[in-house]
Structure 1
Amino acid sequence: IGLDQDFFDKWRTGDLMTRFTSDVLVLMRMMGILVIMLVDTIVLTTLTLFAMGNFVNWRLTFISVLPLPLIAIISLFFGRFIHRRFRELQEKTSELSNITEENVSGVDVVKLYSNYDTMQGIFDNKSQEFYNSYIRLVKVWGLMFPLAMLVGQLAIIFVFNFGGPMVINNQITLGDFIMTNQYIGMLIWPMMAVGNLINLIQRGRASLRRVNEVLEQKNSVKEPPRKDFEFQGHYQINHLTFKYPGSQRVVLNDINMNINPGEMIAFVGRIGSGKSTLAKLLVKLYPVDREQIFLDGKDINDVNGEFIRDNVSYVPQDSFLFSMTIRENIAFSDEKMEDKVEEFAKLSHVHDDIMSFENKYDTIVGERGATLSGGQRQRVTIARALAKRSKMIILDDCLSAVDTETEEEIIKTLRQQAEDKTILVISHRLKAVKNADQIYVFDDGQIAEHGNHNQLISREGIYYSMYMKQLIEKNLEE
């Protein structure tokens, strides 16, 4: 959770779940069983060899145990293959977990597009790959154990071959001969245990490597020590150019902007023009070069990201809700806010909807808020952001599922009730943001024009064309 956004953009949920469940379980088993088997093997082998040498015959003991180290050698040889095959198996497990998680999360899309066969085919392919990988591991395991058992039988043959004549020549008694065979049987288990130990170690190594790949991830955003100050929310952006980590595509190019405290700012423009990216940079979800973004006169690289996000309520496009009650989702574990939940719900225009539910604010919303409509989810997430009582609110196209009139009303209410707050609205509906103090029009990663509504209309540029097009579409609908 403490890693930055770049990590979660690259890693898939199913893969992470497998690494921190299946792989961690393998490590737990390895550590527990490894200690027991290691102690058991050392103690049993030492005591058995001592008993054979002292109570039977040291020469026969030495000869009879000669083949047994071969078991350990065989285990070491096959251990390399086990390590490789088990790592492959865990990778296939991650892939299967990914496709399962996606199918469950996107079940509505699958049903709406009647795309069962395609998704079933993808799932079947991943299942077959997992099965094939598991069989390859079992084949190595199945070949190693019979070979180890064969070597164990060689030790018995050695006892008969060398111990028999010793009985005939009265060098040892028949009882000693029988006891030697029993001792050899006792030694075969520790040697086989060596094979088990090596198998466990190789599996553990593969899982440890996969877990460490996650644990060794470093934040691309270098966070300075937290030093709190009076947050005003004054942003100054100077010639900002940005590419996502690991990508060569320029997403934002030479952005210049001032956001003053208490203002309402709007970002508009086509999809993919860089609006949401800039909003994420303002809350320091991704790293930027020095001297490109300043917050209250300080280079954003010198300000702790957690401090920024404590003072900025960011409502993303994806309206995520936890499988809790509506009240708990809005208060979000802040007991001080629970008594004011209804106040924030009214501000986000979702109170009436909630009161129509049987359990009202105690309604369980289901996984990801599945029991609510898209518009209701969006308005609940806005209520949650308001409950945070931060100095700045960013609405990142989070009202796309409500009608234009409702969006206008929500934004109007927010501005009236939060006069001292800075409000940044990203929207495709120009009518909803026409009262903003400053409107920035994005086009292909650049700011094409900016100003207030009247200024932009008078220029008859991109904003004017977009506004007139939406106005005509609205009139046609009516």
Structure 2
Amino acid sequence: MREFLTLLDFFRRQRRRYLLGVGSLLVVGFLQLLIPRLLGLFTDRLLDPPVDTGLLRHYLLLIIGCAVGIACFRYLWRYYILGTAHLLEKYLRDLLFKHLQQLPAAFYLRHKTGELMAHLTNDIHAVRNALGLSVVLLVDAIFLTAMAVFFIFTTVDYRLALLALIPLPLLAISFQKLGEGIYRRFLVVQDSFGAMTQTAQENVNALRLVKAYVLEDMEKTRFARSVAAYTQNNFSLFKIWGLYTPLVLFFSIISFVIVVSFGGIMVMEGKISIGDFVAFNGYLALLAWPMMAAGWVINFAQRGRASMQRINRLLQEETIPSPGRFPSPEPPAAAVTGDLHLRNLTFSYEGTAAAALRELTLSIPRGRITAITGLVGSGKSTLFYLLLRFYEPQQGEVLLGNRPLKSFSLSDWRRRIGYLPQDGFIFADTIAANIAFAHSAATAEEIAEAARLAALDLEIAALPGGYGTAVGERGVTLSGGQQ
């Protein structure tokens, strides 16, 4: 399970919560193991006249005390282990989102939005289950199995115990084989979930376009196809997962038949008491749960392993230094003046043979307004992407004065640039928040002045909420011109 080594830092910081949770879980397991023994003693005393009512009452109170203890400590392990799993979910989501913020623009050309959303939702959810509920089931299964077997061997005839435990190795081998199948198929399920999410996201974003061209039926078919692929992959996964419960029941029934057959004979021969027989069946019933839990553990663990592998692939993507993370020892960009020089710039987008820019050399004098014109696809937008350092040229360099752009920290350089993209994006927030997006500390007067300069102030004033009007996702409540 080396895929989970990425989370070692989280486990170190949360080890106290995990230890308290596991400790509470072990107490619950121990109390559960006491109950069958107490029931066995209660049965023997009940069938052995004269009946000692005081002793029977004592056993009943102990059983009730065990039940109360189980309830209290079960609450504690749920709080500490399952609660910590939700903290893990937050930690991993923050870690992944922060990493995505530091990836270069070229990364987003290779990965679709739906795929990334699948990583941030379904994959993280699978990891949470693997390291939350799966931990509970694993500890519970190991402890209950070990202690139940110990009690069986020490309190009941060992020969009967050996016969009853014969199916366990066969069950373990079956689980191991099924686990690898779950891992492989869950990878496929998550890939198809990402494709389905991408299809849905594209349709929501392009809803007006789809309706304008009356393409609803075509898009329904396309989405239905992605849903069908996701469903089919899930069915393929459940063909394996569905074998767990039947296998557990099958081997449990075999153990039960062995116990009833041989145990009944031993009771009739006087080798064990009826109370021992009752206790033995109680322990055997307890063993059924660990066997069932083992199936769930393998299912959750293999799903989490597959998802963590997908997340690790993202976390291993090479990042660019985040703005301001590595400040330059040289003077900041704001202190540097001079002309802007582009020398032999050559750039090609990943996966394309033709160069978007080839050996471009240009000087832009300081203080002069310069317009860049050209045919569609001539590289105008690409040039500005290089100036903003969304991408790095494969050849050539850009200088401010005599200083290369690469020597500036990204934050210093980008703060000097006012950027207005041709495909403007509007956030689902207020008009004021959208105007102040690049200057969060802007005052109301500064926001109003910006709107006035854009000739939007009168239209905004006419809206019911003014600058506090919520514009909806991608500015859906605004007209095309207002957007």
Provide the TM-score with structure 1 as the length reference: 0.74
1:363 pairs with one of 453, 469, 472: 469
2:360 maps to which residue? 255
CA spacing shift, 1:101–1:222, aligned 2, 3 Å: closer
Structure 1 residues 218-227 or 342-351, which shifts more? 218-227
| Correspondence 1:243 to 2:348 | yes
Q: Residue by residue, what CA displacement relative to the aligned partner does 1:368-388 show, whole Å, maximum 9, x if unpaired? A: 1122233322xxxxxxxxxxx
The question of whether the paired residues in 2 share the 8 Å contact of 1:326 and 1:361 is answered with yes
Structure 1 residues 54-63 or 157-166, which shifts more? 157-166
1:338 maps to which residue? 444
For 2:434 and 2:338, locate their aligned partners in 1 and report how far apart those are by CA, in whole Å.
26
**Counterpart residue type for residue 305 of structure 1:** L
2:135 maps to which residue? 35
| Correspondence 1:213 to 2:318 | no
1:226 pairs with one of 293, 303, 327: 327
Q: Residue by residue, what CA displacement relative to the aligned partner does 1:123-151 show, whole Å, maximum 9, x if unpaired? A: 11111111111211222111232123212
**Counterpart residue type for residue 376 of structure 1:** Q
| Correspondence 1:177 to 2:283 | no
1:327 pairs with one of 414, 432, 436: 432
Structure number with the higher strand fraction is 1
**SS class of match (1:250):** coil
1:80 maps to which residue? 180
1:306 pairs with one of 403, 406, 411: 411
For 1:364 and 1:172, locate their aligned partners in 2 and report how far apart those are by CA, in whole Å.
78
**SS class of match (1:83):** helix
For 1:301 and 1:128, locate their aligned partners in 2 and report how far apart those are by CA, in whole Å.
48
**Counterpart residue type for residue 326 of structure 1:** I
| Correspondence 1:130 to 2:230 | yes
| Correspondence 1:55 to 2:155 | yes
Tell me how far 1:162 sits from its aligned partner: 3.8
Tell me how far 1:107 sits from its aligned partner: 0.4
The question of whether the paired residues in 1 share the 8 Å contact of 2:105 and 2:390 is answered with yes
**Counterpart residue type for residue 258 of structure 1:** S
2:204 maps to which residue? 104
1:392 maps to which residue? none
CA spacing shift, 1:186–1:358, aligned 2, 3 Å: closer
1:142 maps to which residue? 242
For 2:194 and 2:139, locate their aligned partners in 1 and report how far apart those are by CA, in whole Å.
34
1:381 maps to which residue? none
Identity %: 34
For 2:353 and 2:410, locate their aligned partners in 1 and report how far apart those are by CA, in whole Å.
25
**Counterpart residue type for residue 326 of structure 2:** P
1:293 pairs with one of 380, 385, 398: 398
Q: Residue by residue, what CA displacement relative to the aligned partner does 1:191-212 show, whole Å, maximum 9, x if unpaired? A: 2211111111001011111222
**SS class of match (1:258):** strand
**SS class of match (1:264):** coil
1:279 pairs with one of 384, 401, 417: 384
**SS class of match (1:254):** strand
Provide the TM-score with structure 2 as the length reference: 0.73
Structure 1 residues 147-156 or 278-287, which shifts more? 147-156
Q: Residue by residue, what CA displacement relative to the aligned partner does 1:163-182 show, whole Å, maximum 9, x if unpaired? A: 34434443323443343233
Tell me how far 1:233 sits from its aligned partner: 6.5
For 2:350 and 2:365, locate their aligned partners in 1 and report how far apart those are by CA, in whole Å.
29
1:18 maps to which residue? 118
Tell me how far 1:158 sits from its aligned partner: 2.7
Q: Residue by residue, what CA displacement relative to the aligned partner does 1:341-367 show, whole Å, maximum 9, x if unpaired? A: 122222223223323333332222211
Q: Residue by residue, what CA displacement relative to the aligned partner does 1:386-408 show, whole Å, maximum 9, x if unpaired? A: xxxxxxxxxxxxxxxxxxxxxxx
Moved >6 Å (runs of 4+): 220-224
CA spacing shift, 1:37–1:222, aligned 2, 3 Å: closer
Structure number with the higher helix fraction is 2
**Counterpart residue type for residue 372 of structure 1:** L
For 1:357 and 1:199, locate their aligned partners in 2 and report how far apart those are by CA, in whole Å.
54
For 1:221 and 1:257, locate their aligned partners in 2 and report how far apart those are by CA, in whole Å.
27
Tell me how far 1:245 sits from its aligned partner: 3.1
Tell me how far 1:273 sits from its aligned partner: 0.8
**SS class of match (1:329):** helix
Tell me how far 1:222 sits from its aligned partner: 9.9
Q: Residue by residue, what CA displacement relative to the aligned partner does 1:23-71 show, whole Å, maximum 9, x if unpaired? A: 1112112211122212212221222112111111122212211211322
Paired residues in the alignment total: 377
Structure 2: 5+ residue stretches without partners: 1-100
- What is the Cα-based RMSD across aligned positions, in Å? 2.1
1:318 pairs with one of 392, 408, 423: 423
The question of whether the paired residues in 1 share the 8 Å contact of 2:348 and 2:394 is answered with no
For 1:283 and 1:234, locate their aligned partners in 2 and report how far apart those are by CA, in whole Å.
16
For 1:348 and 1:79, locate their aligned partners in 2 and report how far apart those are by CA, in whole Å.
61
Tell me how far 1:220 sits from its aligned partner: 6.4
